[in-house]
Structure 1
Amino acid sequence: MVSSSARARLLAKNDNDIVIVAAVRSALAKARKGGFKDTRPEEMLSGVLRAAYTRAMVDPALIGDIAVGNVLPPGGGANVARMAALHAGIPNTTPINTVNRQCSSGLTAVDQIANEIISGQIDIGIGSGVESMTFAYGGGWLADGWSAEVLTNPEAEECLLPMGMTAENLASEFNISREVQDKYAAISYQKAAAAHKAGKFKDEIVPLKVKITDPKTEKVSEIIVDVDEGIRDGVTAETLSKLQPIFVENGATHAGNASQVCDGAAAVVLARRSVAKRLGLPIVGKYVTSAVVGVPPRVMGVGPAYAIPKLLERTGLSKDDVDFYEINEAFASQAVYNIQKLGLSLDKVNVNGGAIGIGHPLGCTGARQIATGLNIAKQRNERVFVTSMCSGSGIGMAGVLVSEH
């Protein structure tokens, strides 16, 4: 590809660049019945934090701050993150916080750390994300109800729509058929299965040793979770067409064309380039910038279709300057809409499969997609990629990164 001036600027190196010196993730395990069903989120997070700074060859005492994306915190969020960092061998002099921008929380955490480095507050930090949908499952956070006065605002009330209903709204409003959704979902499964068979996820996954209890015998044993558990071979549009819709009678959204409910964690270590060079850290990529937008809550899935153009405009890139895109597949309807609206080739989107084929641990996904994107860029010898996702209540976010493998 002939570089545009904007792409050339992104590829250029400057001592003040925000570089990535490690990006790792756990395998994604099935919620409530998978390898992490008995593993608390702080333990998953501890494992990926330790693996991240170890792979980056960073003295943990030099980590200036940590941000953790987490959407449904069963243990209070900030306490879970702090406990995980201390357990991971990071000293108590390193501060930490959690952020919740729904499904873009992991990317928000990375962006926060990047901005702290840009402003001179820190030189090295970790943006990460974790979600145990096993322990958060059941929606206990809704138990106390909501302000009747606030709910008199129609859009505020629409923030409480189940995500599956927003997917149905989007499919109905933009005429995305069940057939098209199932065809797209099948491709995601097929891409993920092919990538798994070829060993393409191994370099981004940190194996975690955890304890698990057999529900029948109550025997506790140790296992190593190192493979995405939701990957299914042989899925076709025809097999998906036999599944019943969940949210609306005669609707289109079902378990097979929605993101998989799962548990997982990811972490991205960032640093100022001059500092990384001085310390001899392994630079694997560069974080450039991000863009965040608001969209109507009732069709929250359209977020990437507005965040990505804002991101491209901010950086001066054209969509063709981007080698590939990681766009979270909350639901097939929203993934199809965004790809069509942006005019992207399916070959350049989620090349190793997306959340339908792999899984979507809410707060983890934004950081997970960075680890996946850097791995893909190395495998394909490509440089510039965009990561993006929609978020509950009507948010879209996108970030642009450059691989330096």
Structure 2
Amino acid sequence: MSNPVIVDVIRTASGKGKPGGALSGIHPVELLATTIRGLLQRNDLDPDLVEDVIAGCVSQSGEQAANIARNAVLAAGLPEAVPATTVDRQCGSSQQAAHFAAQGVIAGAYDVVIACGVESMSRVPMFSNFAGKDPYEPLGSRYPDGLVPQGVSAELIAARWKLDRTALDEFAAESHRRAADATTSGAFSAEILPIGDHAVDETIRASTTVDGLAGLKPSFQDPALAERFPEITWSITPGNSSPLTDGASAALIMSEQRAHALGLTPRARFAAFAVTGSDPLLMLTGVIPATRKLLDRSGLALDDIDAYEVNEAFAPVPLVWQQEFNADPARLNPRGGAIALGHPLGASGTRLLTTLVNQLEASGGRYGLQTMCEGGGMANAMIIERLG
């Protein structure tokens, strides 16, 4: 089997996912195309060598429809012979793209492949691909009481694991503090591809405090749901949730043999993968069984892992994960997470991977773990090992 390695990873700085955001004037095809071009240029790689491009994107409608991966490849100027496909595993879409790319290398299907992702939430709003229809209606016979929005799932998780509003807001404030410190220290400079003059994450609020967050109103409070779920205390707010975000990210993945033949130095290798389904009502808890499955497969214990990236879709997700595994909070999202850095849905998987690789290099850590909760009750998880 070929050994899949990460040669390089980059991301754009986040842009607020609303009109007037730093990246809102850029068509999502061009945003992804610019990121792919930047990745190839940074490594002086002949684009003819790329055998496939796999991109994550969640809202595949409007400007993100018609296989945005292929459109971005063509817009980036890559040869017409380079194919591309777009995948949707909800928030984990580009992490799944990285899994597919690495697994393709292991299978011998690829030697050089790009895994990437994009989401322009300012131009293609979340749920716009529903077109006013209810995609969950056929599930009524199995779930007669109905499923709930992700924010309500986050509320249910907070209630079940007894996480109060203060704990959620403290975690959110710390995410902003860590991200602001990483920005000030220049820690993000190696991972961010400037888009024009935009090179700093627009979603970080360095002035965030617990007291300030305490004044925000719950986002998902609903009388009918309150009757159905009396245990909910309604603690999820815009402040302890990830913001709507624009962004793109990309990873250059190769067989180790091809990387060395091209004179490129691999930065990390893929050590283990896992993907699992979970309760679609508590849809954000999949990170727990996915991590257990991953650790079992890898033969590693959590204490062997030097950094954990657990996507901060909502504050309860990483907090519950930390609680379940008794994880070291200092190793959990050490540069801040999506609450501060943003969550551009389809781009978040390779965004987390970019940050994880750079964190391991900066800290001298060996192993990094990444996991993403996903809509519908799923999760991806993987372990990478720093090389060099």
Question: TM-score under structure 2 normalisation?
Answer: 0.93
Residue 318 of structure 1: aligned partner = 301
The answer as to whether partners of 1:56 and 1:269 remain within 8 angstroms in 2 is no
CA deviations over 1:93-146 (Å, ceiling 9, x no partner): 111000000011011001111111111112100011110111221632223423
Q: 1:292: how far off?
A: 0.7
Q: 1:78: how far off?
A: 4.3
From the superposition, tell whether residues 148 and 20 of structure 1 become closer, same or farther in structure 2 (CA, over 3 Å).
closer
Q: Distance in 2 between matches of 1:149 and 1:375?
A: 43
Unaligned runs of at least 5 residues, structure 1: 1-14, 210-223
Aligned residues: 376
Residue 258 of structure 1: aligned partner = 241
Residue 92 of structure 1: aligned partner = 80
SS of 2:25 mapped into structure 1: coil
Equivalent of 1:41, from 28, 39, 43? 28
Q: Distance in 1 between matches of 2:177 and 2:71?
A: 38
Residue 244 in 1 paired to residue 217 in 2? yes
CA deviations over 1:33-88 (Å, ceiling 9, x no partner): 31111111111101110111222332110101110000012335443221211121
Residue 233 in 1 paired to residue 206 in 2? yes
Residue 172 of structure 2: aligned partner = 185
The answer as to whether partners of 2:15 and 2:203 remain within 8 angstroms in 1 is yes
Q: Distance in 2 between matches of 1:148 and 1:315?
A: 35
Give the partner amino acid of 1:197.
T
Identity rate of aligned residues, in percent? 35
Residue 366 of structure 1: aligned partner = 349
The answer as to whether partners of 1:228 and 1:358 remain within 8 angstroms in 2 is yes
Residue 119 of structure 2: aligned partner = 131
Q: 1:153: how far off?
A: 2.8
Equivalent of 1:79, from 44, 67, 85? 67
Residue 152 in 1 paired to residue 125 in 2? no
Residue 18 of structure 1: aligned partner = 4
The ranges of structure 1 where at least 4 consecutive aligned residues each deviate by more than 6 angstroms after the TM superposition are none
SS of 1:317 mapped into structure 2: coil
The answer as to whether partners of 2:64 and 2:124 remain within 8 angstroms in 1 is no
Give the partner amino acid of 2:186.
G
Q: Distance in 1 between matches of 2:30 and 2:135?
A: 35
Q: 1:341: how far off?
A: 0.9
From the superposition, tell whether residues 268 and 134 of structure 1 become closer, same or farther in structure 2 (CA, over 3 Å).
same
Q: Distance in 2 between matches of 1:255 and 1:228?
A: 17
Q: Distance in 2 between matches of 1:148 and 1:307?
A: 24
Which deviates the most, 280-289 or 135-144?
Answer: 135-144
Which deviates the most, 252-261 or 168-177?
Answer: 168-177
Residue 372 of structure 2: aligned partner = 389
Residue 377 of structure 1: aligned partner = 360
Give the partner amino acid of 1:18.
P
SS of 2:63 mapped into structure 1: coil
Q: Distance in 2 between matches of 1:156 and 1:369?
A: 36
Q: Distance in 2 between matches of 1:61 and 1:77?
A: 25
Q: 1:18: how far off?
A: 0.6
Equivalent of 1:195, from 150, 169, 182? 182
Give the partner amino acid of 1:20.
I
Q: Distance in 1 between matches of 2:205 and 2:174?
A: 11
Residue 59 of structure 1: aligned partner = 46
Q: Distance in 2 between matches of 1:155 and 1:60?
A: 48
SS of 1:298 mapped into structure 2: coil
Residue 113 in 1 paired to residue 101 in 2? yes
The answer as to whether partners of 1:259 and 1:330 remain within 8 angstroms in 2 is yes
The answer as to whether partners of 2:176 and 2:208 remain within 8 angstroms in 1 is yes
Residue 8 of structure 1: aligned partner = none
Residue 212 of structure 1: aligned partner = none
Q: 1:334: how far off?
A: 1.7
Residue 70 of structure 1: aligned partner = 57
Q: Distance in 2 between matches of 1:232 and 1:357?
A: 7
SS of 1:204 mapped into structure 2: coil
From the superposition, tell whether residues 157 and 66 of structure 1 become closer, same or farther in structure 2 (CA, over 3 Å).
farther
The answer as to whether partners of 1:388 and 1:399 remain within 8 angstroms in 2 is yes
Residue 270 in 1 paired to residue 234 in 2? no
SS of 1:356 mapped into structure 2: helix
Residue 278 of structure 2: aligned partner = 295
CA deviations over 1:170-211 (Å, ceiling 9, x no partner): 1122221111111111111111111111111111000112xx
Give the partner amino acid of 1:167.
A
Q: Distance in 1 between matches of 2:73 and 2:246?
A: 18
Q: 1:16: how far off?
A: 2.7
SS of 1:38 mapped into structure 2: coil
Give the partner amino acid of 2:352.
Q
SS of 1:269 mapped into structure 2: strand
The answer as to whether partners of 1:132 and 1:361 remain within 8 angstroms in 2 is yes
Question: TM-score under structure 1 normalisation?
Answer: 0.89
CA deviations over 1:217-258 (Å, ceiling 9, x no partner): xxxxxxx21110011112121211111111016510001000
Give the partner amino acid of 2:315.
A
Q: Distance in 2 between matches of 1:31 and 1:148?
A: 26
